[in-house]
């Protein structure tokens, strides 16, 4: 086989590093001992690997172009499997990515902050009409001393001496392919590629400090218990002065002493005397919109519902408002005197509704009658 490394890989002497790598990967797939069949495949694979070892290294390729073979005995090469050989490229050829893939460079020190969830207690009127509220949150903000740089003022990060700023360190490990170069995050700089020689004294090198902030929020009409309002970018600042997260305000609606909410509608109970329900009347009802004169029709029955359009809760997504449902509670008198009892009895006679008197009523009437007689001295 030819000893010309360019001919072995099938590339021209002016081939680019990418062309050399592609040619090597193609031949490695064809000639690898675990894949290729036939005599001489293993030797050809070694020749291809040796050619790639030289031509993929700029210094060794320059020596080779000047007529010195770095891979030859005494040529200064480390040999097959020595330092500088791209076994990671072999790994990528068969598996698509070498060990430590995804860690080919330093990770950024600045990262996004976390989101925050804060409870927002509201009265029913706030949910009906919407409101403007101010909320206090304890969160992380950019350090005012270092402005997120993590360093003492006047200093700056220093390139890591262990990894040389790459954020990863490489080690040689053995595998079924032989020696494989693996990568792992640098323990000295934790993968950042830089170290902080003099951390900021206020934030201890975090780039952020804890602080209490006041946030203003416009609560839309129609929110309900469980509704979440998102305040974009108002959460905690990330490590290293990274972008802030979001704040979610979770609504909790306080119970109302008069009205009960059911979706976009409001419900309440209106007590009406029996005579007023029979004769009809006008009752003043205090609503969330102010006092309302409610007409109770003559003959209104217990449990009857009077609907007032547009006096309910504002609709969150579609606009407009729900309705107010007034449930009439007809109150039957329980402490009638003799005159009132006689009037009702006469009314029953006139309406043809006479019924035998209750035994309890007769017993009670007899007892009270005796008591009245005793008090009167009879």
pLDDT in tens, the chain (378 residues): 457 888 888 888 888 988 998 888 888 878 766 565 666 777 888 888 888 888 888 888 887 887 777 776 554 433 333 334 444 444 444 444 443 444 456 888 899 999 999 999 999 999 999 999 999 999 999 999 999 999 999 999 999 999 889 888 877 766 666 667 777 889 899 899 999 999 999 999 999 999 999 999 999 999 999 999 999 999 999 999 999 999 999 999 999 999 999 999 999 999 999 989 999 999 999 999 999 999 999 999 999 999 999 999 999 888 899 999 999 999 988 888 889 888 888 888 888 877 766 665 555 554 445 545 555 554
Which top CATH class is 116-253?
Answer: mainly beta
- Which residue ranges does the chain devote to CATH 1.10.287.110? 5-95
| CB 102, CB 191: distance < 8 Å | no
- Which residue ranges does the chain devote to CATH 2.60.260.20? 271-329
| CB 162, CB 189: distance < 8 Å | yes
- Which residue ranges does the chain devote to CATH 2.10.230.10? 116-253
Tokens of 151: 């360093």
Residue 281, classed as helix, strand or coil, is strand
What is the C-alpha to C-alpha distance for residues 269 and 191, in angstroms, rounded to an integer? 67
Spatial CA neighbour of 237 closest among 144, 315, 318, 313: 144
CA atoms within 13 A on the CB side of 190: 4
What is the C-alpha to C-alpha distance for residues 311 and 290, in angstroms, rounded to an integer? 10
Residue 123, classed as helix, strand or coil, is coil
Spatial CA neighbour of 267 closest among 76, 124, 55: 124
- Kindly report, residue by residue over 310-357, the tens digit of the pLDDT: 999 999 888 899 999 999 999 988 888 889 888 888 888 888 877 766
Domain 271-329: CATH architecture, name and number where available: Sandwich (2.60)
Tokens of 295: 């007409």
Tokens of 123: 């009265």
Spatial CA neighbour of 263 closest among 291, 227, 233: 227
CATH 1.10.287.110 fits 5-95, yes or no: yes
Specify whether the backbone of 54 is left (phi greater than 0), alpha (psi in -120 to 50) or beta: alpha
Q: What is the pLDDT of residue 157?
A: 93
In the block, tokens 């002493």 appear at 257
- Kindly report, residue by residue over 35-91, the tens digit of the pLDDT: 656 667 778 888 888 888 888 888 888 878 877 777 765 544 333 333 344 444 444
Binding residue ranges:
143, 146, 160, 163, 186, 189, 200, 203
Residue-wise over 337-356: b if at least 16 C-beta within 10 A, else e? eeeeeeeeeeeeeeeeeeee
pTM of the entire structure?
Answer: 0.61
Binding residue ranges for Zn(2+):
143, 146, 160, 163, 186, 189, 200, 203
């Amino acid at each position: 086989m030819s000893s010309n490394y360019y001919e072995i890989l099938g590339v021209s002497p002016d081939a680019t590093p990418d062309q050399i790598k592609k040619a090597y990967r193609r031949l490695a797939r064809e000639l690898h001992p675990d894949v290729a069949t036939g005599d001489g495949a293993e030797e050809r694979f070694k020749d291809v690997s040796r050619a790639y070892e030289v031509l993929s290294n700029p210094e060794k390729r320059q020596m080779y172009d000047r007529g010195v073979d770095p891979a030859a005995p005494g040529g200064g090469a480390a040999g097959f499997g020595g330092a500088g050989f791209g076994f990671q490229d072999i790994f990528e050829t068969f598996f698509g990515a070498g060990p430590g893939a995804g860690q080919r460079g330093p990770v950024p020190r600045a990262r996004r902050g976390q989101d925050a969830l804060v409870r927002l207690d509201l009265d029913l009127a706030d949910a009906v009409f919407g409101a403007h509220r101010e909320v206090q949150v304890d969160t992380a903000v950019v350090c005012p001393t270092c402005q997120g740089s993590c360093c003492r003022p006047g200093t700056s990060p220093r390139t890591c001496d262990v990894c040389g700023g790459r954020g990863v360190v490489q080690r040689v490990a053995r595998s079924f392919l032989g020696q494989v170069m693996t990568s792992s995050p640098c323990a000295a700089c934790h993968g950042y590629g830089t170290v902080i020689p003099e951390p900021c004294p206020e934030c201890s090198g975090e780039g952020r400090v804890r602080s209490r902030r006041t946030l203003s929020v416009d609560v839309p009409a129609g929110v309900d218990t469980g509704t979440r309002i998102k305040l974009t970018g108002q959460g905690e600042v990330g490590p290293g002065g990274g972008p802030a997260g979001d704040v979610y305000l979770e609504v909790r609606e306080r119970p109302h002493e008069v009205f009960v909410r059911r979706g976009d509608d409001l419900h309440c109970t209106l007590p009406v005397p029996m005579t007023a329900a029979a004769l009809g009347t006008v009752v003043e009802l205090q609503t969330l919109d102010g006092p309302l004169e409610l007409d109770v029709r003559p003959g209104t029955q217990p449990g009857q519902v009077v609907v007032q359009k547009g006096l309910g809760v504002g609709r969150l997504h579609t606009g407009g408002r729900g309705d107010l449902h007034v449930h009439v509670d007809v109150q039957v008198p329980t402490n009638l005197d003799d005159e009132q009892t006689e009037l009702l009895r006469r009314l029953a006679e006139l309406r043809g509704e006479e019924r035998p008197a209750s035994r309890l009523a007769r017993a009670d009437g007899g007892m009270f009658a005796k008591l009245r007689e005793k008090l009167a001295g009879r």
